[in-house]
A = this chain, B = another copy of it.
Amino acid sequence: MGLDQPSAKPHETLAETLASDLTAVNALIRERMASRHAPRIPEVTAHLVEAGGKRLRPMLTLAAAALCGYQGRHHIHLAATVEFIHTATLLHDDVVDESEQRRGRPTANLLWDNQSSVLVGDYLFARSFQLMVETGNLRVLDILANASATIAEGEVLQLSAAQSLATDEDIYLQIIRGKTAALFSAATEVGGVIAGAPEEQVKALFEFGDKLGLAFQIVDDLLDYRGIPGVTGKNIGDDFRERKMTLPVIKAVAMADDEERAFWRRTIELGDQRPGDLDEALAILNRHDALDATREAANSYAAHARRSLQVLAPHPIRDMLEDLTDYVVERVN
């Protein structure tokens, strides 16, 4: 798809602009996911890494490095690092969630076993760690170590916060930082750091990644109640059926009267769901404008992400990141 075709999606335009870097990243990923000793490893990882993910996170690193005029080769290592961490997280998530599908294909834990998913995830973490050490940049290591801790902490927090009406917006933010924003912001920040960009720009890149990640995850959670099946690839009400405390429900619970509170307690906390409950949930969400308020939250983070980019010098890639930000929230606007 050409850059001049207005129908290209922002992440496709970005992929085209960063094509030679992305090719190098993919080559490095293939090289490093190999294991001389354990053939099970490339089997499992290939299933995920080659499964047609959009490479959004590595592109954020490549874009940030390009925006800061980086001329070296270590952004390739960092982009591969970020994708390995992401893939490792997916492998472990699928075990934790007992998922059977990811990106429309059977999950690794279904094709092989939970054991392979846990251990190959650990292997990818270790490989990502080797890749980042190769950059020889301690600040980059610090950023990625902190992101790893935030990711794991958010996942554990989600375990205890799930199905509890006490989960508030603060806890939700910590969870989605761990789930999505921490790796987005680490991806953009290390791109600036490896380029030796001024502190103000590094901070702006962090803010951009963080707020884009928050907007991205909030939109994802909103689409679960407002999506168009077939277009968004999600079924309306999956999160409700799985009793997840996402932002729409958290907002509605905060405004609930006694009767509504009893409804949420029964359906989410106790898991006693009956025919018609999803419609009732949607009616309550709409009564309190919880879906609109959730959309506003996503829009507000997206606006913050866009503003952060203004600290960086004008550049075609900066425009693409702006377009990408618009695109993320466009699905619910």
Residues of chain A having any CB pair with chain B under 8 Å? 35, 37-41, 92, 95-96, 114-116, 118-120, 122-123, 125-127, 129-130, 133, 136, 138, 141-142, 144-146, 148-149, 151-153, 155-157, 159-160, 171, 174
Contact A125 B148 (CB under 8 A): yes
Contact A148 B129 (CB under 8 A): yes
Instruction: Give A107 Cβ to nearest chain B Cβ, in Å.
Output: 14
Q: Which residues of B contact A152 (CB under 8 A)?
A: 119-120, 122-123, 125-126
Whole-angstrom distance between the alpha carbons of A35 and B154 in the complex? 10
Q: Known interface pairs A39-B160, A141-B141, A152-B123. Does A115 touch B129 (Cβ–Cβ under 8 Å)?
A: no
Copies in the complex: 2
Q: Known interface pairs A116-B159, A156-B38. Does A142 touch B146 (Cβ–Cβ under 8 Å)?
A: no
Q: Which residues of B contact A39 (CB under 8 A)?
A: 160
Contact A37 B153 (CB under 8 A): yes
Identify which of B130, B136, B171 contacts A138 (C-beta below 8 A).
B136
Q: Which residues of B contact A95 (CB under 8 A)?
A: 114-115, 118
Q: Which residues of B contact A120 (CB under 8 A)?
A: 152, 156
5 contacts between A and B (CB under 8 A): A38-B159, A96-B119, A123-B152, A126-B151, A129-B148
Q: Which residues of B contact A115 (CB under 8 A)?
A: 95-96, 159
Contact A92 B116 (CB under 8 A): no
New A-B contacts (8) at CB < 8 Å, excluding given A38-B159, A95-B114, A115-B159: A37-B153, A37-B157, A114-B114, A123-B149, A123-B153, A125-B125, A129-B145, A130-B142
Contact A156 B114 (CB under 8 A): no
Q: What residue of chain B has the Cβ atom nearest to residue A148's Cβ?
A: B126
Instruction: Give A152 Cβ to nearest chain B Cβ, in Å.
Output: 4
Q: What residue of chain B has the Cβ atom nearest to residue A150's Cβ?
A: B126
Contact B122 A146 (CB under 8 A): no
Q: Known interface pairs A125-B125, A152-B126, A157-B38. Does A145 touch B133 (Cβ–Cβ under 8 Å)?
A: yes
